[in-house]
Chain A
Amino acid sequence: METTNHQLPIQNKRVFKRKFERVIPFILLLITCVSIITSIMIVATLLSETVTFFKHVSFVEFFTNTTLKPLSNDPQFGVLPLISATIISSTIAISVAGPIGMMVAIFLSEYASERVRNVVKPLLEILAGIPTIVYGFFALTFITPFLKNFIPGLETTNILSPGLIMGIMIIPMIASLSEDAMNAVPRSLREASYGLGSTKLEVATKVVLPAAFSGIVASFVLAISRAIGETMIVTIASGSTKNFSLNITESMQTMTAYIVEVTGGDAPAGSTIYYSLYAVAMTLFVFTFLMNMFARYVTQKFKENY
């Protein structure tokens, strides 16, 4: 009798603990669902408003019309000017960042000593941490005036300088992702090549680069996707002219900059302009989503197993 009385509270505690132990995974699972709900909400909001937009403007017109005049009396909603500006700025960015990022990656993984790496890698991390608004300020107040010395016809807002500064912004991304891919190439491959008498450059370009190729492609694709989604640099430095042209000295508006302009302009809910915001955002989302999936596919499909 005495013992049972003594044991009861402990048993109660044990039962409670066992129940608690069983409830915890469910609580954690519920919290985990936040990230799934976020994805669903992103797709749902974009999709529902985009569908409404295509009731006002036809799908074909949206993707083939080369004029975007949302505010005129005879409004036209062609997304092509925005898409072309986005592609132009990303192309400028990747043609700056691609070669330079690769060179930094090769240098870090093949040439640099441990001491140099320990200095350069944190520097790259710091660069990657500079907010994009700061890069935008650089583009507008330093790069554009500087470039005007060489290109007299350069407009105050143009697509060239944000493209260049975006290139500098994504260098750390390409460098560190490519370097990771190169580091994953086993040492034995390099040793074999050195054993045959190769120089460092030959090892880097003929052994390490091909072996790390999928990782490098993935780093490029991710960097381009980042450049496409980049907002503040282009909003500040490339202006808001909805310009369908190939002249990089002119002001052009990218998809992201259009979204900023429309949301900043208090477009009345329910108007076609308001819905166009979602259609453009959907286009942007699909672009970046496909590129990210492609990068994932490339790394998994072409992964070399040593």
Chain B
Amino acid sequence: MPETSPYHRLASLAAPCTRREFLWRSGGGLGGIALASLLGSEGLLAGEKPSAQAGSTRPNWAGHPALAFPRKARRVVQMFMAGAASHVDMFDYKPALKQHDGRPWDPGEKVELFQDGHGATFASPWQFRPYGQCGKLLSDIVAPLGAVVDELAFVHNLVGKTGVHSQATLLQATGFNLPGFPGMGAWVSYALGSENENLPTFVVLPDLRGFPSNGAKNWDSAFLPAQHQGTIVRVGAPNPIEDLFPPPSGFVTRGGEAAGLRVLRELNQAHALERPGDARLEARIRSYELAARMQLAAPEALDISKEPPAVLARYGIDSSTKQWPKDINAAEEADIFGRKCLAARRLLERGVRFVQIWSGCDNGFPRRNWDSHEDVKRDHEPLALGFARGAAALIQDLKQRGMLEDTLILWTTEFGRMPCAQSGKGRDHNPFCFTNWLCGGGIKGGVSYGPSDEWGYKPADRSKPAQVYDIHATILRLLGLEHTRLTFRHNGIDRRLTDVHGEVIHELLA
């Protein structure tokens, strides 16, 4: 078993007997112990023998029911388009919209819209063209994805619960449409632990111009132990991780820092020696050593200055422009998203388990956000061109490095947008139908699953829509986990990422 980390698997540092106490304290009760079983399971997943130190109080985690399947993917990237990205303008081509463009839109049933934006049928402002061997039709604003479209599997029949941004964002991010539940990355961190103790397991790359709806609730650990919460990494900022380095103070110096940590360690060890049997004291001493290592590892991981210019260009990173235009534009969006994609690759290479990349979050005016009520063309074109460039570059880059086969990528959003126009050029919310795509680790490329109806208004087969639970169940399956058994007991309920739902979409599996 590899050496376990206090950061993610602190408990294993403890003497066997106090490990349990720690787990109790970390908020799990019996469920906590069961869950914590997974904390130590990285070695098991990698096919290694469980630790021999199992005693009567150290449960043997081998054979935990959640570890039910061969693992196809080891790490996950989740790209989240905040504000609700339009499926019918990017991935879900609907000729009917063109045919009926400008004519009243009547799907033959009562339509309840979020902002009552029930205008005429509205053809996508962009052309769709076929790409790859699969011949998938993509719109011009996501054309860069054409180069990797044979790797992508589309799900076109997703349905949400409501058209309210906050609930919808929570639903896609945590599996519940109210706050208080762990983000998917937290569950994955909890289940699989870390591959590099010097970096956080679950990294969030927010849009630095603003958080999405609900902010940190989307990547919270909620009732899972706090070490599983997403750690915000500000790509390009001098202090990319909160408090990684001290602020200018006039008294903290490099030499003083090293000597101070030595004194701290010395005093802490004397203190712990007089208090045997409390594993937390030793673990805390160790956390300072890891902190010092993270101070080296994080800036190195995020330093793109040594990346070849050709790589930077492929990601759309443009360091020559110092001042971007005031209005939203594709080059700036590509630069912003591309930097996060490149950072994601570098973090994944170094063992980060889950990276969540946000696009278009600042829900204000002027919009730099996907919530195109007023003008789809104005917002979607730069945002889509921006994300597609970085996403395509990341997929190609991972493939080149042999990492795509065990890196799973999910592209998602809150919900879709309506086939009809709102205020002429915009589209209202459509929680009744939207698109996700997946790629990499164990996914069958070139697949389009679950067609929507002729308008992209609802799934073609309304009796069997896909839901976020199915996407999450599929992802967990590819990570080797049975989604119904990955549970954590909280307030008397064995909570799951997939609530009481979820079916693996086998059509997506390679």
Say whether A and B bind each other.
no
